[in-house]
A and B are shown apart, each in its own frame.
Chain A
């Protein structure tokens, strides 16, 4: 799968002032790549990532998924796309607090129409992959931050996505837990052949990615 951004602008109007978070960004990201996005705070990294993952719409420019222009499609209609093609990992994990680790991982599968037994089997496998199988029945509040993020990675993998999008996935973790998470993301790319896009401030993480994009003031100023 391939996501293509062409001359994408994102502007926020706040009264008289217009803030441009993205100023004509063009970039292509494919399955099989591991990409780091770095840059100072406020440079537009999250905005760019959200354009790629179809959770936000550009003010101008086009977004193409496998060559198809999805710019005019309402965000709700893109829910199936987000469900099946992308995996999201958030800085704050955002596991559903009412569900156990296992059910958090099963949740996107059930939404995608996978049979319950099948979903459970695959969720357990994924929890195994991230080393959380023993904690399957635990609720999020019973897990540490690093453990929650590993469950979140398993959840992102639930529907076998092509591209995993992670916005500062280690931002809330200590260096040891962070290392485990980065190791997992690396494996997703290297062993499983997924596309992985990581927004990060940490140079050690960026250095593990073959492709590096540097942003400043809404523009890509380094890497391609």
Chain B
């Protein structure tokens, strides 16, 4: 076999390769991100020691009487620990700026039981890595009917460290619907809670405080009308006993008994979280695959168009090839292999570029969460997937200009040059 590589010369080929390469980079990055999202979410779910989350169907209402409800649930012999948690948005007033943060309110002594030995805590699939912890393990402000001892302890998001000169011992004023309150920084933690996406656009970081202090700050402690204690919280984390954990059936029946007991709330089990996650990531997969497919198509249609133009312009040379003895098969190979070669070279050069892009995406997310999780994984399976999309589409699309070339009529070679 011998080819004249009639189509592999000139700036046009370079431009085409770059276009195909860019579309390949997009495909590779897209697939890497969807792979990483799936992997890391799955990992987080697996590492999580929260078994059941009781929460409201609608965020706005919240669960009233959170402390009491937790205690009620804890009294069940199947439950090791149940603890109320609260989520709220509040502003930190630092350096003359109004910094919107997302806050987590916990009872330290209880939430500790959900933490791994490495200080890793998961709440609804969000990861928190806590190194410094609260001095006061209880919730004394609540114990005093929201008039008790104000600890003022606060853990701040790692991403805020260094910014605004915040360090351990710094004083910080937070403002929420419940008023303005003072805190003292007792440590830092990193979290995926604000990592990337829309959330990170509005919210500049996270903080963690005692549950009752967050309730006071966000107006969830007392009823605004008559000042009675309402103790609203976002959800109740439940850890079941070892026995229940091992026994699937017993676990299921316990979960449904909870559902029956608290029909107004949502009872989310790990199974349900996995299912929800699956549905979510199926959507992500379909989406990323569609985008990949479209992007690959655009790149490859560009290649097709250029090859088509090449065939039109080199028509006379193709006729000459036929005249001096090249068969239709030779012409087929000449055109088809050239376009496939452009495709492969472009794809291969896209891999290192995508590798850097994936690294850049990860750096971006790591710097915004402080947690070392991958947000783009370019591994062999991703590269193979992308390659299959490319090779499959390319193999089909490139048949068009190839057959155009094969079909060129040899008879035309007779025409005097001025007609060309």
**CB < 8 Å: which of B324, B327, B413 contacts A108?**
B324
- Answer whether residue A209 sits at the interface, using C-beta atoms and an 8 A cutoff: no
Among residues of B, the one whose C-beta sits closest to the C-beta of A76 is: B328
User: Is B410 in contact with A111, judged by CB distance below 8 angstroms?
Assistant: no
**CB < 8 Å: which of A94, A98, A110 contacts B320?**
A94
Q: Which of A158-180 contact B (CB under 8 A)?
A: 159
Would you give the shortest CB distance from B406 to chain A, in whole angstroms?
9
Would you give the shortest CB distance from B7 to chain A, in whole angstroms?
8
- Answer whether residue B197 sits at the interface, using C-beta atoms and an 8 A cutoff: no
- Answer whether residue A186 sits at the interface, using C-beta atoms and an 8 A cutoff: no
User: Is A82 in contact with B6, judged by CB distance below 8 angstroms?
Assistant: no
Known A-B contacts A91-B417, A111-B330; the reply to A96 vs B325 at CB < 8 A is no
| Chain A binding surface SS class | helix
Known A-B contacts A55-B410, A94-B320; the reply to A107 vs B327 at CB < 8 A is no
Contact residues in A for B327 (Cβ distance below 8 Å) = 76, 79-80
Known A-B contacts A46-B414, A94-B317; the reply to A79 vs B325 at CB < 8 A is yes
- Answer whether residue A221 sits at the interface, using C-beta atoms and an 8 A cutoff: no
User: Is A96 in contact with B411, judged by CB distance below 8 angstroms?
Assistant: no
User: Is B325 in contact with A80, judged by CB distance below 8 angstroms?
Assistant: yes
- Answer whether residue A182 sits at the interface, using C-beta atoms and an 8 A cutoff: no
Would you give the shortest CB distance from A89 to chain B, in whole angstroms?
10
Known A-B contacts A96-B4, A97-B9, A111-B2; the reply to A82 vs B414 at CB < 8 A is no
- Count contacts on A: residues with CB < 8 A to the other chain: 33
- Answer whether residue B5 sits at the interface, using C-beta atoms and an 8 A cutoff: yes
Cβ proximity bits A108-144 to B, threshold 8 Å, 1 near / 0 not: 1011100000000000000000000000000000000
Cβ proximity bits B311-327 to A, threshold 8 Å, 1 near / 0 not: 00000110011111111
Known A-B contacts A56-B414, A96-B317; the reply to A79 vs B322 at CB < 8 A is yes
Contact residues in B for A90 (Cβ distance below 8 Å) = 320, 413
Contact residues in A for B416 (Cβ distance below 8 Å) = 46, 91
User: Is B323 in contact with A88, judged by CB distance below 8 angstroms?
Assistant: yes
Most chain A Cβ neighbours within 10 Å, of B9, B321, B413: B413
Q: How far is the CA of A92 from the CA of B414 in the complex (A)?
A: 12
Q: How far is the CA of A130 from the CA of B361 in the complex (A)?
A: 62
